[in-house]
Amino acid sequence: MNEILGVFMSEHKIIIDILNLAEDCKALDYLRILKQHNEASFNHSLRVALFSYHIADNFLKGDALDAGLSGLLHDIGKIYISPAILDKEGPLLNYESFLIHSHPVQGEVVLRELGVNDKIRIPALKHHRLSKKPYPSNTKILETDPVDFINVVSAADRGDVILFPRKYNGDNINIEGRVLDEFMGNKEFIRYILINKEKYTKEGLAITNFCKDYIQTKRLS
């Protein structure tokens, strides 16, 4: 029991450290807005933060907390997308897809206005560029981009889709195979999450539970 508690406590420490970084760059209010706007997207962002941290900790030298922050903020643009669209089950209409596909650009604008640095910010704009059907269509991943971070956050994002499937992914049959097939980035990063699937599923649930109240009560600096 203590061992289990110990694991969860260390996950809490990681997410608290990442939330402190979000507070430092004045993004915490936007996360609170995301939580009120669409709790599923907020919980997804927390898990992507945690998975980004673990992937970076395992594969990159240092920077794991920054990777976690980038993961935490990657979908912040969803505050501008209607929850009716975010939560819609089944296929999206063309205009609904168009609106959803605008969230990377919207998120990048928020983070740019906050003065968030390139390494943290650019994955928000380009985390759907490593897909078989990449978007936004008017962006490309450049050599000068933080390619490692884009890979980490995109893989964490896809890993979360596998561990916590959404209703609009259809029947979710062979979701692991489909997600891996459609991911054009470093597949090792997703496989790392999958190898530790049971552990990260538990930790993902634990941090979303923990943050339910924590984010509201956390004192503004």
Q: Which residues here bind Fe ion, judged by CB under 5 A?
A: 75, 157
CB of 128 to Fe ion, least distance (A): 6
**CB-nearer residue toward Fe ion: 89 or 213:** 89
The CA distance from 200 to 131, in Å, is: 23
Dihedral, CA atoms, 143, 148, 153, 158, nearest 10 degrees? 90
**CB-nearer residue toward Fe ion: 66 or 71:** 71
The CA distance from 171 to 191, in Å, is: 22
Phi, psi (degrees; rounded to nearest 5) at 149: -65, -40
CB of 154 to Fe ion, least distance (A): 9
Q: How far is CA 159 from CA 48, 58, 163, 192, in A?
A: 8, 15, 6, 9
CB of 123 to Fe ion, least distance (A): 10
**CB-nearer residue toward Fe ion: 8 or 187:** 187
**CB-nearer residue toward Fe ion: 7 or 194:** 194
CB of 48 to Fe ion, least distance (A): 6
